[in-house]
Structure 1
């Protein structure tokens, strides 16, 4: 074999490394929704030229994590409740596809892999560490998709899971006891291990639907609180007939 027969070793470019760090910062809320990103500032922080930063930002624009506004700049996306509902419905389709493959012959290894995420979630819940619960929640669903053995499902789920992680803290605040969420994931893990397939599919679908319902109710409550007394009866007749539409 000559040297020309060898495949080059894959290495991440500077732009890829920067894109990875930006994804994590967005996911964890270090770069808050709606915040503007500047090439010069990021280049200084990463100690690189502006070229790789520009390329990294364009990657995240194409992935939907950043939004480019003409003549204004590039901003971290802000998720509306409709966006969140769309994310969860898309995730439900992808994760159901992953679950189908898992149930075809990958049950034991998947259940074992999911156990570590459930235990991490339980430990975090015992400590009252909400960010760590969010991390373990994401780990659970990443593991489920990865266990399907489908690179395409993994790619399709990546941005959706990052978008989900952006609002997991808000979701978990809707639980009276965060251990309820641990129980939901553990029940799904048990169903994947040796339960009827129909139960696993139902638990996954219910989990996604419940998340959307909780987030919708939370947003409605926050909107009502922000409106305050002005949204009540004293708002006058103009708030009447059209308000219920």
Structure 2
């Protein structure tokens, strides 16, 4: 029998809209979200909005401070390093499981297809889609390990990972960097021993703090160019 169609509640729709706006930069790091203003702007009551905001608090995109309000999370360098530490640990476990028990050829083909989409997005200057596809790629890698609990654990840091990726996406010196690294990793996953894959995986992650500092250094130069 076909599965019944899942009903999407208003609060779910609002959560998706707020999540998209935060990742697109419409609400900046540390910005307070005011219930009355948002409810009016979205044309909804405050009940579904509160439910949506609470969902994003649980995901790690928003932070609720008693007696002050709800704010967009502002990830520090230490936060980003911690998120990437957890990601690396989980993905290393996924690679080891995939190499020993998984379908490496099918996984490599799937990752290559995602890399091709990522390449088109980055060449077109669409960094938002590039960030989404980066997360899709790594989530597919973890899921390929065939461990429900590993995938579930990875999902707990997914929102913060997504936020990190979107913040760091502009830090790649070349638009080709992101896709090329993912193509290379997919090819290694196809046939290489785990001792070759893991160093490449960790090299690919890099140091988010360094990329963040680079973005901050580049920002004044971009502002000066725009002012001319």
- Structure 2: unaligned runs, 5 residues or longer: 222-228
Q: Does structure 1 residue 147 correspond to structure 2 residue 144?
A: yes
Q: Tell which has more relative contact order, 1 or 2 (C-alpha 8 A, sep 6+).
A: 2
Instruction: Evaluate the alpha carbon distance shift between residue 126 and residue 9 of structure 1 in structure 2; reply closer, same or farther with a 3 A threshold.
Output: closer
Q: Does structure 1 residue 57 correspond to structure 2 residue 59?
A: no
Shift of 1:222: 6.9
The structure number with the bigger radius of gyration is: 1
Instruction: Evaluate the alpha carbon distance shift between residue 10 and residue 138 of structure 1 in structure 2; reply closer, same or farther with a 3 A threshold.
Output: same
Instruction: Evaluate the alpha carbon distance shift between residue 78 and residue 170 of structure 1 in structure 2; reply closer, same or farther with a 3 A threshold.
Output: closer
Q: CA RMSD of the aligned region, Å? A: 2.8
- How many residue pairs get matched? 218
Instruction: Evaluate the alpha carbon distance shift between residue 11 and residue 128 of structure 1 in structure 2; reply closer, same or farther with a 3 A threshold.
Output: closer
Match 1:205 to one of 202, 205, 215: 202
Match 1:183 to one of 180, 183, 205: 180
Contact 1:65–1:159 under 8 Å retained in 2: no
How far apart, CA to CA, are the structure 1 residues paired with 2:114 and 2:5? 32
Contact 1:117–1:140 under 8 Å retained in 2: yes
How far apart, CA to CA, are the structure 1 residues paired with 2:123 and 2:12? 36
How far apart, CA to CA, are the structure 2 residues paired with 1:177 and 1:26? 25
Shift of 1:114: 0.8
Q: Does structure 1 residue 119 correspond to structure 2 residue 116?
A: yes
**TM-score of the pair, normalised by structure 2:** 0.81
**TM-score of the pair, normalised by structure 1:** 0.76
The residue number in structure 2 matching 1:106 is 103
Structure 1 residue matching 2:70: 3-state secondary structure: strand
The residue number in structure 2 matching 1:162 is 159
How far apart, CA to CA, are the structure 2 residues paired with 1:219 and 1:122? 21
How far apart, CA to CA, are the structure 1 residues paired with 2:192 and 2:110? 17
Could you report, residue by residue, the CA deviation over 1:143-189 in whole angstroms, capped at 9, with x for unpaired residues? 22233333433333335333233343553433332312222111110
How far apart, CA to CA, are the structure 2 residues paired with 1:160 and 1:42? 26
Instruction: Evaluate the alpha carbon distance shift between residue 115 and residue 38 of structure 1 in structure 2; reply closer, same or farther with a 3 A threshold.
Output: same
Task: List structure 1 segments (4+ residues) > 4 angstroms apart after TM superposition.
Answer: 7-10, 219-225
Q: Does structure 1 residue 67 correspond to structure 2 residue 63?
A: yes
Shift of 1:111: 1.1
Structure 2 residue matching 1:68: 3-state secondary structure: strand
How far apart, CA to CA, are the structure 1 residues paired with 2:167 and 2:12? 29
Shift of 1:76: 0.6
Contact 2:95–2:194 under 8 Å retained in 1: no
Structure 2 residue matching 1:173: 3-state secondary structure: helix
